Structure 1
């Protein structure tokens, strides 16, 4: 296998996921600032010009970070990061979707509509980016209430892909000045637990 990745939250999600499972594959760094994701060679791998991209030994190409993680879970099932039984799988899926839509997506919209790097990808609306920035504290406050007096990780007692998604959203938010409010102690305690894991430095 070969992983095409670079700077950015989705590449980071896959690297953390692989580190948790102890998977080590050759990597190709794609420099977005130099437009390497728009070269004809790369577009043959992913016509959308986005990273990460996983190329299997038989040439099969898988794009989208969660799809890549799903594949890796199937071929390296332990430790289970998408849940180990029907109930835990449902809860991990639920919480990963919630984290992705409610938090990751909100913060991602700040990046998409404010960073010049994305100016060629879509029509940017800076005012929309600011409305999303204003919405971030409420999104984290919602999560803070949800995990109050609960298990150590978002979807239950076991660390999962939902923790990866939400923690990388926090990392992205800090980069774009949309930090978690200091008053949300439950979220901060959870994030501390996640960032203490060796995989966080992947």
Structure 2
């Protein structure tokens, strides 16, 4: 297999952290988004929507979308379990995955893509859309802080893919300079725990 990585892109990093937690060693080929390498005709043969990451299988076929890649690898390497060991666990992890993606990752991406100068050559920026999403992020942080009261992990009693997604969101938000509010003590403690794991350096 060959993993097409996107550097700091949050979805690519999500898979790298997953690989680290699993102890899976797959060769990596870097795709430089800022140089528009993901938009070349050659890469579009791998990922028709010009997205990173992507995984090339041994038979030459490809999987894109970070969660699809993780789902495939989870079936091949079921331990340590990160995506649910029974129907209830699978549903809980998926529920939190969707919450984090829809209510945190997408608003962060909107602020970054439409408000950061580094993205001007890649996006038809709408600054008003960036501004509109900033309070959505802070509101979700405050809600999530309440949800984390008395909890070590975002769901279940162990580290899962949902925690990986949370970490990538928290650190992605730093790019447009949105940090966890000081009043969110539970969330700040949770983030520090995630950031201290060896896999966070992946």
Report the TM-score, using the length of structure 2 for normalisation: 0.94
- The answer to whether 1:124 aligns with 2:125 is yes
Q: Distance in 1 between matches of 2:128 and 2:141?
A: 21
Shift of 1:9: 0.6
CA distance in 2, matches of 1:106, 1:58: 37
Tell me the CA shift for residue 141 of structure 1: 0.5
Which residue does the alignment assign to 1:74? 75
Report how many aligned residue pairs link the two structures: 201
1:88 is paired with a residue of what secondary structure?
helix
Task: Note the alpha carbon deviations across 1:40-88, whole angstroms, 9 max, x for none.
Answer: 1111111111110100010110001111111111111111111111111
Query: How far apart, CA to CA, are the structure 1 residues paired with 2:136 and 2:54?
Result: 31
Residue ranges of structure 1 left out of the alignment (5+ in a row): none
- Alpha-carbon offset, residue 119 of structure 1: 4.7
Q: CA deviation at 1:124?
A: 2.3
Q: Deviations over 1:118-170 (max 9, x none)?
A: 55665321111011112221110010111212x31001211111111111111
1:102 and 1:39 mapped to 2: Cα distance? 31
Is 1:173 the counterpart of 2:167 in the alignment? no
Take 1:117 and 1:71, find their aligned partners in 2: how far apart are those partners?
A: 33
Q: Which residue of 2 aligns with 1:47?
A: 48
**Superposition map of 1:1-202 within 5 A:** 1-7=1-7, 8-116=9-117, 118-119=119-120, 123-149=124-150, 151-202=151-202
CA-atom RMSD in angstroms: 1.4
The SS at the match of 1:54 is: strand
1:116 Cα deviation (Å)?
Answer: 4.9
TM-score normalised by the chain length of structure 1: 0.94
Closer/same/farther in 2, CA of residues 66 and 117 from structure 1, 3 Å limit: farther
Deviation at residue 20 of structure 1 after TM alignment: 0.4
- Determine the C-alpha separation between the residues in 2 that align with 1:96 and 1:6: 21
Instruction: Tell me the distance in 2 between the aligned counterparts of 1:144 and 1:115.
Output: 27
Stretches of structure 2 lacking an aligned partner (at least 5 in a row): none
Q: Does the residue aligned with 2:174 lie in a helix, a strand or coil?
A: helix
